[in-house]
Structure 1
Amino acid sequence: MSGTERDGQSRDGGGASVGSRERILARIRTAVADAPEAPGPVRDYLDTHTPDDRTVDLLAENLADYRALVHRTDTPELPALIGRLLADRGARTLLVPPALPADWLTGTPEGLTRIADDPAITAGELDAVDSVVTGCALAIAETGTLILDAAPDQGRRRITLIPDHHICVVRVPDQVVASVPRAMDRLDPTRALTWISGPSATSDIELDRVEGVHGPRTLEVILLTE
């Protein structure tokens, strides 16, 4: 009988005897009164198993394992590489974040229309864009993951989720970390973070893989040695 007296003891809303509960808790308090303080957690475990001189190569391997297309170049050759990738794709329109370095695009094909990252662009208009080129915030070697944080060289989150072809430039080694714990130390949790591991893909109950459902069908990653 919830909330009433029964057998000389009151009961709470769940039917438990308040008197019995207090006696049990009192016995527990007495038993642990002289117990030492519990030790604090020990976090002396490794935050990575990857040597520093292996991070870039491991990143390239894991990106390729996720079916991203990986390219390596240096600063002088970057514009020509981006231009070739766009030409090979047959891109006619290119979405450009507001602070993407201008010299990255000096080798783009003639006739290519550049579209600025404007908040007024609709999802339908973004879907009609052929390619987008961005920088990144970090890349994680052990998971083959790119992290975007909506910085000016990356633009808003949706410009990398709707167009079908994404070229992402990663500065190495500065933007490459070995593991997720090391990445967390360098990320701003107040920013809009997008974690990308390979091109968008899913599979149905028969495990037939379909790409391009939730994001770009083709992800090309340029590892830029500056």
Structure 2
Amino acid sequence: MTTRDRILSRIRRANSTPSTTHPAPSAPTPGPASATAAVGPGPVPRDYLRVHGTRTPAETADLLAAHLTEYRARVHRTDEAGLPLLLARLLSASRTVLVPPALPPYWLSAADATPIHDRAASTPHDLDGVDSVVTGCALAIAETGTLVLDGGPDQGRRRISLIPDHHICVVRVPAQVVDSVPQAVERLDPVRPLTWISGPSATSDIELDRVEGVHGPRTLDVVLLGAQ
């Protein structure tokens, strides 16, 4: 059996129905019985490593904070009572703040920045004029220092977390924190608009000169809510 045949067989098994868009593979060449045993419908093995070691929720939160910091995100820890004052401090230099449709109102109750609501008629130019954006998240991945947004009511449309120069993302700990990417994929809905964020937007040229803010926010503040 050729490599092509094995790949097509696995695709058919994953879809549980025969492929109708590709020609049937050529007859397999003689080989060990194990080479042909995978042909036919059946579950796809997913026995890859899901997490490296065992951690307590506090250790997972610490690992997330460490990796976010490595990516040059600024990490803050607070509880529900301290969140409004923390967000007010983080927004002290902002005149305007973009607000998703269902952001909890008390989050910005102490902030002086004028809330701007994203609307269907809002243009990228309109959003570019907003100083900051505050969102929740779907979850965060400790082993990669990654935030995942899925367009939920406290996150809004994907573009509002990509256009303003300053993004503040609130992560509920431990409810929204997982150890690894496989654990994250299990919890995420693949049909939603997923945005994976690992630190502020950054790129570098061939000489490795780093430039931030090219493809998204130049500054990323992450608030671990519930972790002190």
TM-score where L is the length of structure 1: 0.81
RMSD: 2.1
Alpha carbons 1:68, 1:220 under 8 Å: kept: yes
Equivalent position amino acid for 2:107 in 1:
W
Give the deviation of 1:52 after TM superposition. 3.0
Equivalent position amino acid for 1:51 in 2:
T
Give the match's secondary structure for 1:48: coil
Give the match's secondary structure for 1:169: strand
Mapped pair 1:103 → 2:106: yes
Mapped pair 1:113 → 2:118: no
- Matching residue of 1:129: 130
Gap regions ≥5 residues in structure 2 = 1-25
Q: How far apart in 2 are the matches of 1:209 and 1:50?
A: 33
The 3 A distance-change label for structure 1 pair 45 and 158 is closer
Identity fraction in percent: 66
TM-score where L is the length of structure 2: 0.80
Mapped pair 1:38 → 2:37: yes
Give the match's secondary structure for 1:61: helix
Give the deviation of 1:117 after TM superposition. 1.4
- Matching residue of 2:14: none
Give the deviation of 1:51 after TM superposition. 2.3
Q: How many residues align?
A: 195
User: Larger Cα Rg: Structure 1 or Structure 2?
Assistant: 1
Deviation string 1:117-175 (CA, Å, 9 cap, x unpaired) is 11211111111100000000010000000000001100000000000000000000000
Q: How far apart in 1 are the matches of 2:131 and 2:165?
A: 6
Give the deviation of 1:55 after TM superposition. 1.0
The 3 A distance-change label for structure 1 pair 96 and 46 is same
Give the match's secondary structure for 2:91: helix
Equivalent position amino acid for 1:52 in 2:
R
Give the match's secondary structure for 1:75: coil
Give the match's secondary structure for 2:106: helix
- Matching residue of 1:188: 189
Alpha carbons 1:50, 1:178 under 8 Å: kept: no
Map 1:69-218 onto structure 2 (within 5 A).
69-87=74-92, 90-109=93-112, 112-218=113-219
Mapped pair 1:58 → 2:58: no
- Runs of 4+ aligned structure 1 residues displaced above 6 Å come to none
Give the deviation of 1:214 after TM superposition. 0.1
The 3 A distance-change label for structure 1 pair 41 and 120 is closer
Give the deviation of 1:35 after TM superposition. 4.5
| Partner of residue 47 from structure 1, selected from 24, 46, 50 | 50
Q: How far apart in 2 are the matches of 1:106 and 1:94?
A: 12
Give the match's secondary structure for 1:76: coil
Q: How far apart in 2 are the matches of 1:35 and 1:70?
A: 54
Q: How far apart in 2 are the matches of 1:132 and 1:161?
A: 9
Q: How far apart in 2 are the matches of 1:41 and 1:128?
A: 48
Equivalent position amino acid for 1:102 in 2:
P
Gap regions ≥5 residues in structure 1 = 1-23
Q: How far apart in 1 are the matches of 2:53 and 2:156?
A: 31
Q: How far apart in 2 are the matches of 1:143 and 1:35?
A: 39
The 3 A distance-change label for structure 1 pair 46 and 25 is closer
Equivalent position amino acid for 1:105 in 2:
L
Q: How far apart in 2 are the matches of 1:77 and 1:121?
A: 32
Q: How far apart in 2 are the matches of 1:213 and 1:143?
A: 21
Equivalent position amino acid for 2:68 in 1:
L
The 3 A distance-change label for structure 1 pair 203 and 35 is closer
